[in-house]
Structure 1
Amino acid sequence: MVATSAKDVDSAEIVKHIAHFLKKSGKVKVPENADLVKLGQSKELAPIDPDWYFIRCAAIARRLYGRSTGVGGLRKIYGGKLRRGVRPNHWIAGCGSVCRRALQTLEQLKWVEKAAEGKGRILSKQGRKDLDRIAADVKSKQVAAEF
């Protein structure tokens, strides 16, 4: 039997299940300003979904499964176009404090650790094991739904 990894299942499904796991565990503390914070300068409003922080932590954990990255790389990923009225649009990076806090939250869970060379963060063995377990659950639910 081949082991199921986080790359073997649909990314949206596994992020949803990881976020549910993080919320259910009770170990993730949502920042106090979560209802006021914008996710980037290019955004006009704060997120509407009350569970946005769990989803962002889950998406970052899934992204770290493949390769290491730091706050600057995550800002590029979550960046967007800044609409400037009649002037041309301009690309701008996402919010660094949200990325940094999400990485710190994942470090407290022992899912993420700093890279050896000091270049960003990598997924720890514990984090990889938990993501693989969640991916196996998602895969088994998909197989059961097919029959």
Structure 2
Amino acid sequence: MQANAICFEAPVAQLYNKLPPPREDLDDVLAILFRGPAKPTELDFRRTPFLVRRNKVLEALRWLKLNHDDYMDIEISAQNLETYPENYPPVTIEYRQTDTSKIPEGTSLHDMDADMGTEEGECSFVVHGLSGERFDTMSGTLKAKAL
């Protein structure tokens, strides 16, 4: 198993005075696609970085309220937080069956390994993508650091 995040710039659809947002709003900005020879199981989900630990979210929001001017006036919603499952990602999950865990478009002609990823332990996680107007105006040094 291996995980990749692909980020696209999107306009902010809504500003929230209450955090975390309602669970149903997450599907507007986040989706998870699993691909491979088998559907993900609950054990697979536990190995990914996609689970929400409510106590960690609550701690982070409390810290932001105390330490960041932009979060000073938010209300922390225990009711919204309780709707986030702890053993399953809080967003829609799509599954596409494939014969291998490799992505054909990203595989070298000389890559002869059967599969990519790990069979046990934590799932590796890579974030891909930088986008937006600010990226176009960055110097080469800043772009290299960002990448």
Q: TM class by shorter-chain length? A: under 0.3
Structure number, greater radius of gyration: 2
Q: Normalising to structure 1: TM-score of the pair?
A: 0.27
Higher helix proportion (structure 1 or 2): 1
Higher strand proportion (structure 1 or 2): 2
The structure whose RCO (Cα within 8 Å, separation 6+) is larger is 2
Q: Normalising to structure 2: TM-score of the pair?
A: 0.27
